[in-house]
Structure 1
């Protein structure tokens, strides 16, 4: 393991904005993000597979009345966003180090108001379809932790992932779907918020279009 990684892991251990195994709140955070961590009643928004956390930090700057949590299993990656958030004193930004498929171990039903998927790995091989973050098994997890009126938003340069997601959503109980295969030339562009990840800059420089969609889950009915 490189010295840079070791140094970043050490900083994550000391950074109060990083929630990971070994820290007390990691074991008790479910249902307590507002009361015990952010200490407010503001909406909670997740950036899944956040990498360097550009959106968690960028949206946290723009919307101080909302709480943002970047989630990734790679500690050396989320270190970047966590370091910036700590340096800038962003009290509404945090980072959780865990696997996406374990989300409902850390969030209670109706605790989450919004989910962002920003350029997730498209997992192009057929054998990896279940690992795509818009596969029904992940949608089921999102639905369990989200409020009824919450938005799920996907931003990707991958036409394959975009089209796959639309196909999945056509058979899933959702509502209010909006989408575009060219975000930069769409009425939905305002939802870009001027935040561009490092990878997005590379994609657009190569001529790739940015695809975007958002939707809400239909409310589950009880018998």
Structure 2
């Protein structure tokens, strides 16, 4: 591991806005994020696989009346979003280091109001279908931690992942399903909120349309 990553890990380990293995509250916050971390009753928006946390922080800037949590397993990535939140003195942002497969260990039933899945690994190989963050097992997890009527969003550059997700949701007869294969040339672009991740800017510069869909949890 390079010195830069080690330095970032060391910084993240001391951050109050990051919860990770070894922390006193790690694994103890399920159903208690509002009371023990944010100390308010505001809605909670979760970004799964948040990477650098650019979307998490971007949404937190726009909606200070909500709480935002970005989850990712890689601490060096979380360092970026965590640093932005500290520099901007944002108290409505938190990051959680965990594998998405273990997300139910960290959130209580219906504790989350909304989920964003932004540019996840598309897992294009057939043998990796079950690892896609929109595979049925993950959708079932989201349905247990998101309140009834809460929205789950997907943004991706990958047509295969978009079409796979759309097919799965249609088979499940998902409520409130809306979608587009070209977000910024559609009447749904307001859902992007003007937030662009580093990768998204790159895709758009290359002429790759951004796909988007959302549905409501029953």
CA RMSD of aligned residues (A): 0.7
- 1:141-200 Cα offsets, whole Å, 9 max, x none, are 101111001000000111100000011011225200010111001111111111101101
- 1:46-78 Cα offsets, whole Å, 9 max, x none, are 111000001110000110001000000011111
Say if 2:158 is the partner of 1:177: no
Question: In structure 2, the residue corresponding to 1:27 is in which secondary structure?
Answer: coil
User: Shift of residue 27 of structure 1?
Assistant: 2.7
TM-score (norm 1): 0.96
- Paired positions, count: 218
- Structure 1 runs (4+) deviating above 3 angstroms are none
User: Shift of residue 16 of structure 1?
Assistant: 0.4
Contact in 1 for aligned 2:152/2:216 (Cα 8 Å): yes
Unpaired segments ≥5 residues, structure 1: 219-223
- 1:117-141 Cα offsets, whole Å, 9 max, x none, are 0011101111110110000010011
Distance 1:172 1:208, change over 3 A: same
- 1:70-105 Cα offsets, whole Å, 9 max, x none, are 000011111100111011111000000000011110
1:221 corresponds to? none
1:32 corresponds to? 32
2-structure distance, mates of 1:129, 1:144: 21
2:16 corresponds to? 16
TM-score (norm 2): 0.98
Write the mapping of 1:124-143 to structure 2, written as runs, cut at 5 A.
124-143=124-143
Question: In structure 1, the residue corresponding to 2:80 is in which secondary structure?
Answer: helix
1:147 corresponds to? 147
1:166 corresponds to? 166
Contact in 2 for aligned 1:173/1:217 (Cα 8 Å): no
User: Shift of residue 217 of structure 1?
Assistant: 2.1
1-structure distance, mates of 2:112, 2:27: 18
1-structure distance, mates of 2:17, 2:87: 11
